[in-house]
Amino acid sequence: MPEINGERVLADLRALKALAPYESGVHRPTLSPEHVASLKWLETELRAIGHEAKIDGIANVFGISKVTGPKLLGGSHLESQNHAGWLDGPLGVVYALEAARAVKADPTFANCGVDVVACCDEEGHYGFFLGSRSAVGEVDDALIDGAVDRTSGIPMRDALAAAGLAGVPRHVIDPKRYVGFLEAHIEQGDWLEAHDLKIGVVTSIVGIRQYVITTEGVQNHAGTTRMAIRKDAGVAAARIAVAISDQFPALAGERTVWTMGRITLEPGAPAVIPGRAELVLQMRDADNAVLDRLEGKVREIVAEADKSGPCRAGIKQTRRTEPAAMAPHFMDAVRGAAEADVPGRHVDMPSGAGHDAMVFSRHMPSGMLFVPSIGGISHHWTENTSDADIVMGARVYIDAVARLLGA
Ligand SMILES: [Zn+2]
């Protein structure tokens, strides 16, 4: 089996962290100078192992090996959420980079290669998986023309130009070149840690459905309007929220999650009865049948609220992502590698978060593995994984790569 250098994996991750430090994590939003520095760092490392390396027109980094035999695509992303953790993304990129080095150094695998990709904007500062979707040919230029940074409002075109990428062509992969795509990631939850497990073999990436529920009442004076004649849109929205929390559990699966992450009242003043309210509901599950059931239930709750009054209520779906199944032979490879390194301490599990593997899985066999997150914390600068687990994950990753390349 090709051999990884655990110290080098840790050193690479620390080098990336040092390019964008924030507390014990990083601040590396998409196309920030710190993000661009990390792309150039990767490009340099890829050239050092003889890969053809480039940063393309949407700031994806590709490292392409020159061998003629079986090739695997590995990677993840380099940007972070604002003021967030150092491993969300870079872990998968550094594992793929180290796998590319290890495969190259092993004479048994002389004919095999690992291509490396860092997909731009997995964290969604500008859009929705724009980098990986561009890499598989799902993004047209108009989508980039319309993309703006959700924090700064800066157009993506301006940010790409500032990074020196104006007019640079985008690279679209040929899925036939690869045995498939393998992404490693921190778990970002506490399932592995809580069960004293070391590796999550990802079976699927959950589907996401999102809705805006709107209630319409009558805006009026909070001091002079009698309670009996009020049409308070805020109260109507709150009732719907409570009905969802009360009625979903009986219909949900074991790992279904739902969140009402935003509620807005108009005009949102202490002395004014809300005339209108908006409630955003998001739900996730790996099984469309479960999501269908919950969607049916929320539509029923809203229709009932609309019928019984005194406010009108409506619902509109604003997002739908299909669950993505990982390829069974990729799961076998990860499971076999985990069993060899950490016998009995791996588990099959769905991913509750979206990942680039979800996009690649639409075009070629794909797989994912998780390593434990300390305390289950992610999207926060305290996110961490022990050095021992980082190195263990890299060993499992390269073993899985070796099984998939089959030299
Ligand atoms: Zn990530």
CA dihedral 117, 359, 138, 287 (to 10 degrees): 180
Q: Are 103 and 234 in the same domain?
A: no
How close is the Cα of 89 to the center of ligand 1, in Å? 4
How close is the Cα of 122 to the center of ligand 1, in Å? 7
Please give the pLDDT value at position 156: 98
**DSSP designation for 314:** E
Two structure tokens written together for 247: 């009625």
How close is the Cα of 298 to the center of ligand 1, in Å? 30
Q: For residue range 22-74, what is the model confidence (pLDDT) as tens digits?
A: 999 999 999 999 999 999 999 999 999 999 999 999 999 999 999 999 999 99
How close is the Cα of 314 to the center of ligand 1, in Å? 34
Closest-CA residue to 126 (of 184, 66, 79): 79
How close is the Cα of 381 to the center of ligand 1, in Å? 14
What CATH number is given to the structural domain containing 182? 3.40.630.10
Note down the domain range covering 224: 207-321
State the Cα–Cα distance between residues 227 and 204, nearest whole angstrom. 50
Q: Are 59 and 182 in the same domain?
A: yes
Mean of all residue pLDDT scores within the chain: 97
Q: Are 158 and 279 in the same domain?
A: no
Q: For residue range 277-305, what is the model confidence (pLDDT) as tens digits?
A: 999 999 999 999 999 999 999 999 999 99
Residue at 101 is within a domain: yes
Q: Is the pLDDT of residue 407 over 80?
A: no
What CATH number is given to the structural domain containing 226? 3.30.70.360
Q: Is the pLDDT of residue 334 over 90?
A: yes
Q: Are 122 and 142 in the same domain?
A: yes
Q: Are 253 and 187 in the same domain?
A: no
Q: At which of 321, 345, 371 does a domain end? A: 321
How close is the Cα of 225 to the center of ligand 1, in Å? 50
Q: For residue range 85-122, what is the model confidence (pLDDT) as tens digits?
A: 999 999 999 999 999 999 999 999 999 999 999 999 99
How close is the Cα of 187 to the center of ligand 1, in Å? 9
Q: Are 226 and 270 in the same domain?
A: yes
Q: Are 332 and 309 in the same domain?
A: no
User: 90-105 and 33-48 helices cross at what angle (nearest 10)?
Assistant: 10
Q: For residue range 255-271, what is the model confidence (pLDDT) as tens digits?
A: 899 999 999 999 999 99
Contact residues for 140 (Cβ-Cβ < 8 A; gap 6+): none
**DSSP designation for 121:** T
Q: At which of 304, 321, 338 does a domain end? A: 321
How close is the Cα of 17 to the center of ligand 1, in Å? 15
Neighbours of ion ligand 1 (CB under 5 A): 88-89
Please give the pLDDT value at position 340: 98
Two structure tokens written together for 179: 């045995």
User: Rounded to an integer, what is the distance from CA 133 to the centroid of its chain?
Assistant: 13
Residue at 380 is within a domain: yes
Q: Are 73 and 180 in contact (CB under 8 A)?
A: yes
Q: Is the pLDDT of residue 83 over 80?
A: yes
Residue 221 — pLDDT band, cuts 50, 70, 90?
Answer: very high
Portion of the chain with pLDDT greater than 90, in percent = 97
How close is the Cα of 77 to the center of ligand 1, in Å? 6
Q: For residue range 73-82, what is the model confidence (pLDDT) as tens digits?
A: 999 999 999 9
User: 324-348 b/e with 16+ CB inside 10 Å = b?
Assistant: bbbbeebbebbbbbbbebbeeebbe
Q: Are 191 and 61 in the same domain?
A: yes
Q: Are 285 and 256 in contact (CB under 8 A)?
A: yes
How close is the Cα of 185 to the center of ligand 1, in Å? 7
How close is the Cα of 265 to the center of ligand 1, in Å? 32
User: 385-407 b/e with 16+ CB inside 10 Å = b?
Assistant: beeebbbbbbbbbbbbbbbbbeb
Q: Are 29 and 177 in the same domain?
A: yes
Q: Are 212 and 202 in the same domain?
A: no
Q: How many domains does the chain have?
A: 2
Q: At which of 287, 321, 355 does a domain end? A: 321
Residue at 184 is within a domain: yes
Q: Are 363 and 235 in the same domain?
A: no
| Mean pLDDT of the 200-223 span | 97
Residue at 1 is within a domain: no
Q: For residue range 121-176, what is the model confidence (pLDDT) as tens digits?
A: 999 999 989 999 999 999 999 999 999 999 999 999 999 999 999 999 999 999 99
Residue at 182 is within a domain: yes
Please give the pLDDT value at position 248: 98
State the SS3 of 169-231: CCCCCCHHHCCEEEEEEECCCCHHHHCCCCEEEEEEECEEEEEEEEEECCCEECCCCCHHHCC
Q: Is the pLDDT of residue 342 over 90?
A: yes
CA dihedral 391, 395, 400, 403 (to 10 degrees): 170
Please give the pLDDT value at position 379: 87
Using CA atoms, how far residue 60 sits from 85, 98, 298, in Å, is 20, 18, 39
How close is the Cα of 266 to the center of ligand 1, in Å? 35
Residue at 20 is within a domain: yes
Q: Are 306 and 376 in the same domain?
A: no
Residue at 267 is within a domain: yes
- Does the pTM exceed 0.85? yes
